[in-house]
Amino acid sequence: MASAPKTTEDGQGGGSGGRKTQQRDVIRRVLEDAGRPLAVGEILEASGAVLPSVGQATVYRTIRYFDERGLLTPIELPGEPTRYEWKRSDAHAHFTCEVCGRTFCVDAERVAVTVRLPAGFEAGEQQVFLRGCCPDCAE
């Protein structure tokens, strides 16, 4: 019986396609350091600035690799490209600027949403998405 691929906490090592690569490490750092969800194009641009050999196919493969290991959170907003953020343990909402299109993480304590569910409904995961104008675009 084959054992499950071994994955370290940072998603590196072990199993098929699990070897640590320079490209994967750069993409991981880009996602961790961004502080906000990034679209594939943003990941490609930031990674390519650090390591020019990172291509679009590498970004997609790496996103799939991290996502399969539960290390990423895909952020899917209606009418927007999927964005990805490194898995966070804190509760937070997402704010998308309608001017520049960037999406930011917002501390959930600053966002108060009350929803009264009908009888018999039980809420699981909550996702809060806000739209408006970011401070850079408001100037």
Q: Which residues are known binding-site members for Fe cation?
A: 109
Put the strands of the sheet holding 72-75 in their side by side order: 38-39, 83-86, 72-75
User: What 3-state DSSP class applies to 70?
Assistant: coil
Residue 41 contacts residue 95 (beta carbons within 8 Å): no
β 72-75/83-86 pair status: antiparallel
Distance CA 104, CA 22 (A): 27
Annotated binding site: 97, 100, 109, 134, 137
The annotated binding site for Zn(2+) is made up of 97, 100, 134, 137
Neighbours of 105 (CB within 10 A): 17
CB 92 within 8 A of CB 73: no
